[in-house]
Amino acid sequence: MTAMAGDARRAAWVRTDFYTWMFLACVLIAFLGFTPTFWQPMAAGQFKANPIVLVHGFAFFAWTLFALYQASLIPARNVALHRAVGLAGISFATAMTLFGCLAALNSLKTGIAEGQAAGAEAFLIVPLSAIATFAAFVVWAIANIRRPEWHKRAMLLATIALLGAPVARPLIVFVYKFPPTQQLPVWFDVTGSIVGWLLVVIGMAWDWRARGKVHPAWLIGLAVLVVVPLLAVPIADTASWHGFAKAYAAMAGAPFKPA
């Protein structure tokens, strides 16, 4: 009986620890993805941008570390601390949503100042839809605090929703080789989303192996992560979206100009 109980505890630990590994993967993707355009220039003292971009970058990477720490508390059987720290996570996610909106506004104003207004207005849909997806998954996770199987998947989906930008950065620098001042096209967001889709598929495969079936949270999450960037492409070209972008741009003054 003791051996059986030990085997059951080990099996439960393995199932839960899968999420620790998944959040660790998110940390690594965020760090490695931003290395050529953020961490390396920072280390060399060559990073120049509006302070909100710096705050935004640190905050979003810190979220992946926070999510990893939170996930690691469950297999360590520190559920009480997990819940206590989770309350701070609500404020953290709220601040990140604000930072994301401000960084998107700065990017829009910069594009307009560089004579790429139409492209910048269209591309605004990319960061705003990403932060909206993140916020929606966090709210979903909070609503399911008492349903851990839903809660942990929703939190992982929220973190995955942020990975489009770090995945895109190496593609920008090494594959497509876009000039630093070129306005990115909206379709590029679909390319940056592929790794996130793969992570969800890995989660579904793990469920199938460990539970014999795929949890519906994965199906909902994958549908959202696929549909949002695909719909963004046609919506970004509509007059209604450009009207919204112009109104959004009017919320701020001149963008930051590096020396």
Say how far apart CA 46 and CA 170 lie, in whole Å.
18
Amino acid 179: pLDDT? 84
**Sequence-distant (≥ 6) Cβ neighbours of residue 64 within 8 angstroms:** 23, 26, 27, 30, 159, 162
Q: How far apart are the C-alpha atoms of 45 and 2, rounded to whole Å?
A: 58
How far apart are the C-alpha atoms of 5 and 11, rounded to whole Å? 10
Query: Which pLDDT tens digits describe the chain residue by residue (259 residues)?
Result: 555 555 555 544 444 589 999 999 999 999 999 999 899 998 888 888 888 999 999 999 999 999 999 999 988 889 899 999 998 999 999 999 999 999 999 999 999 999 999 999 999 999 999 999 999 999 999 999 999 999 999 999 999 999 999 999 888 888 888 887 789 999 999 999 999 999 999 999 999 999 899 999 999 999 999 999 999 999 999 999 999 999 999 986 555 454 3
Looking at residue 176, its pLDDT comes to 85
Question: Measured between alpha carbons, how far is 71 from 34 in angstroms, rounded to an integer?
Answer: 23
**Contacts with 163 (C-beta within 8 Å, 6 or more apart), sequence order:** 26, 29, 30, 33, 192, 195, 196, 199
With a CB cutoff of 8 Å and minimum separation 6, the contacts of 160 are 26, 196, 199, 200, 221, 225
CA 2 and chain centroid, separation: 43
Task: Tell me the Cα Rg of the chain.
Answer: 20
- In DSSP notation, 50-73 reads -HHHHHHHHHHHHHHHHHHHHHHH
**C-alpha of 206 from chain center:** 21
Closest CA to 59 of 25, 100, 20, 29: 100
Positive or negative torsion for Cα 36, 188, 96, 104: positive
Give me the count of residues in the chain: 259
